[in-house]
Amino acid sequence: MAGSTASPSNARYEHHHRDFSELAARLERDGCTADALVEAVLEFQVALPTWAFNTGGTRFGRFPIAGEPRTLHEKMEDAAQVNTLTAAAPRISLHIPWDETDDVAAVRADAARLGLGFDAVNSNTFQDQAGQPLSYKLGSFSNPSAAVRRQAIAHHRHVIEAGNALGADAITVWLADGSNYPGQMSLRGSFERVRECLQDVYAAMPPHWRLFTEHKPYEPAFYATVVQDWGSSLLLAQSLGDRAQCLVDLGHHLPNTNIELVVARLIGAGRLGGFHFNDSKYGDDDLTAGSIKPYALFLIFHELVLAQREGAAGFNPAYMIDQSHNLKDPIEAMLQTVDQLQQAYAKACLVQHAVLSGFQDSGDVIMAERTLKRAFEADVRPLVAEARRRRGGAIDPVGAFRESGYRARVAAERAG
Ligand SMILES: [Mn+2]
């Protein structure tokens, strides 16, 4: 295992080894091996979205900070920081056209030098681009105009080509298509048009590629989004082919939706393609994963770890983050996010599946719930810190980042 050369700050956390030994002893009492759990945590990886390295904003405003990335190269530099400190984020998810490049070889070389690869690429037909002949104001794939639909398909072919040239192997399709008022569009006709367009996109993919359909209940369409829920997403995926799967964005659900149940259904259907992790209090808030509903995040990870252990058919989800950082330093927010995901994953790895299954079979409600709660309530911070440390990452990623002076350095370099 690698040393801790990447994070000189680790030396200051003398208490870490004691904390980890104490946790290891506690885990041993429960029949778990700490080293095996560290290894399990190291299996978890999540892709970083390039768009989240700039401060986000709302329709009311944006509050930029010094040193924000201006180019794909600078976004990759920031992503590499997150990967180095967390040892769990070696891929980025690009957005076309925001990350458009005419020098693929240079981007590939850059990525290789920074230790990054490419996860699913994202298309964009939710806004009009400069010089674009036809408008998506009334939808892209669902648009009543065949010419607009053809333009949207051509964009997706381009995104696939661009992604393939970089070494990505999946495309995430999130459509803003929908209507704001009853009567604005045919509810059945619009869905059928989306399905037909997606068939063309699916057919344009290289044979090793996957297509992810991402649902969302509302916004920007406030009456009826065409791909509104997981059922619509599943219908699309099933009608396209084996390499079409559903992507679950945690913020794309109505309040109180049982997302772990949605996840379980999609796993059961062999169609869980991936995740956009984030958190929310009300809607698509794009807050830091685990910041509002950590127990729900844990329950989702429980379904994921269970499916992984059971070797569920078709289970190979792409884990990605989709957040908007309006107030936090985006790099720090991403470090915090990856840490939260590592913790939720680690806790899910603590669940004793055979024990839980026994209580489910005997109908022991309290003990079944307690089996989950016991794992959730464990303090796994020393475990994930140890996992990061063994792979050359930071015991405390945010602390190490602040100590590194990276933000001040890029603020000077990226002025203007
Ligand atoms: Mn998303």
- The rounded Å distance from CA 107 to ligand 1 centre is 24
Q: What is the pLDDT of residues 172-211, one digit of tens each?
A: 999 999 999 999 999 999 999 999 999 999 999 999 999 9
Q: What is the average pLDDT value for the chain, to the nearest integer?
A: 96
Q: Measure the CA–CA gap between 410 and 404, rounded to whole angstroms.
A: 11
pLDDT for res 400: 97
pLDDT for res 346: 98
Select from 77, 53, 78 the least CA-distant residue to 65.
53
- The rounded Å distance from CA 295 to ligand 1 centre is 21
- The rounded Å distance from CA 278 to ligand 1 centre is 9
Ion ligand 1 nearby residues (CB, 5 A):
249, 276, 322
- The rounded Å distance from CA 276 to ligand 1 centre is 5
Predicted structure pTM score: 0.97
Mean pLDDT of 382-405: 97
- The rounded Å distance from CA 187 to ligand 1 centre is 23
pLDDT over threshold 60, residue 4 = no
pLDDT over threshold 80, residue 5 = no
- The rounded Å distance from CA 320 to ligand 1 centre is 9
Residue 340 carries which side chain, given as an amino acid letter? Q
pLDDT for res 6: 57
pLDDT over threshold 50, residue 1 = no
Mean pLDDT of 106-135: 97
Q: Measure the CA–CA gap between 153 and 398, rounded to whole angstroms.
A: 41
pLDDT for res 415: 87
- CB atoms inside a 10 Å sphere around CB 36: 11
Q: What is the pLDDT of residues 343-359, one digit of tens each?
A: 999 999 999 999 999 99
Select from 246, 342, 253 the least CA-distant residue to 45.
342
pLDDT for res 30: 87
Residue 90 or 7, more confident: 90
Q: Measure the CA–CA gap between 160 and 92, rounded to whole angstroms.
A: 16
